[in-house]
Structure 1
């Protein structure tokens, strides 16, 4: 027995007894003005229970489940839409953006300091050695708080090289700088780092038991150097947080009216735009830029750049003319075939009559009637024998079919001939 299909907005739903055929709509009003509507359904059938005199029947509707939203390119489902990563758009994050605004860029400040309270070892020159890694961990742990207090947008420290002279540390201080105010913010950050390091003789001590946190670093006075590093524009778009690594090779950084953008080959701001000739849309795929060609009421556009134009009218006219030519060819072939059959039949009859006439004119046949009083008998074979001129001895025999025509002008009609009844002879 199928259960009733209920649509409720908050109140209880009445139930019905099995076996009854009902059409019940109940509407109740509560203090919260909630409404419930119950639509019990049942397929008509026999039952031992009493039936509703109204005789109405309904059909059970199975519940359906929506297919879960599947986001592409790392997107995250959020309610009924996708939350796309940077550089992607679309209902399912399936489209790569051609123009991506870059508001913040990564800048670097080159800093060189001399640590006087630690000894240098030859193994510290190798970035893969344990001595190098231990020193870098201590240096980062002690210097991070100083840079965070001094440099707005500070991100990290990258130790480039360790060299002899106590321990000479060549490092890059990495920070985020707004591109719109890059010049002023970056210049101020460089000045802050220089002033802070020149005013610091040693890092603050710590009571931590960790070697990296308990180790104090002291610097050689007047040996600290702070230098600017030019902004590497080529690396702006090689950032996985901005553009997916699979598409980075199709983007270039471009300054458009003071706004830094990473533009793809499909963008009009790209120096080598992948043009679709105004007849389609360019979009980026894993294989590179591709044109999606549009169609008008009169033309189709095709080709890698939508450069080929196909007229719909021309195609229609060409197809029509092709069909007409095909019909004409079929008609001509039919006429030729009929004429050939008619000509071949007429020619064969004429040739047969002509050959028969020539055959009888070239050969002389004589009907040698038997002497008077001799009864002619049926020959034992369906053939006639007569003298054939031109043969050796002047005599010969020739078997003639039953369709031959005797020469009746040489028949002596005055002779009396008796023809006996034909007799059947077995061969």
Structure 2
């Protein structure tokens, strides 16, 4: 690693004691980190300019990992709006030169029409009126497609204002076209305009200021659909349901709201005493209760294991007793007819109460023949077979 200029010579590790050598190693590592850290890593389309990350739209933070919670909306001082209308003038005939907006006939008709519309719309109850713009003339006597231009100061209720102004425009034009009909005697004068009231139409208002468009342009592309316009601290802003301080903020109870690509989600937090769950982290589970239940289940399992061991031990002992060696039974199974007598030597009273039986005696029996006189005769009464009478 090459230290930066002005950092001094690299410290030597020769002849250094243990603590001092460790200190110098740590210093070298710090200098190496500082040197390598001169080129940072940026995320989400961010660009490193040599000092910091320049984040792409919608992101912020040292490495551009965080989404912006809101954007301020730039509001103009004046807002313009238009209302499209169609009016049928019945006391004039459509000619081909009215198709050409540069012809004298077109200009003369438009001038007469605008002058009349100014008289219709201007008034104390409509100070936002700014004029009429004729878009085109069509056949049908003369069908005039035009728009009424309005301008108002920006307020938070500008949309409602223009909706009300549209109602004023509708009322004024309907009143104008309903006064002079095409069959009236006054309509013969070319200085007046007569109309067909049934052909009059008024479209909804169009406002040139769209704050939602600003939200779409300023937000990160993958998350733009989750930003919308709302008031924040009394001003318009692009926010999400995770933006604190808004009317539509998502209530995550015991968690925090996080904007993900699937939309706003509640990330539940845990405390020292509870776990929290649910879509809005509204459900809580006591840790002590869970630990108590787990402990009770473990204790119950231990008891069951002990009981099973005891029962198994008893079962094995009974099985061993059943396997005790029975000489009488063995002789009886030899196929001799009748029954045995004189078996007391094998089944004496002192052996009947023995828990282990003859099998245990035979297993542990170790004869010693040192003191036995081989010349002595031993007489043992042989068991006799008694035949059962037929």
| TM-score normalised by structure 2 residue count | 0.47
Q: Which has the larger radius of gyration?
A: 1
Structure with bigger helix share is 2
| TM-score normalised by structure 1 residue count | 0.43
- With CA pairs under 8 Å and 6+ residues apart, which has the higher RCO, 1 or 2? 2
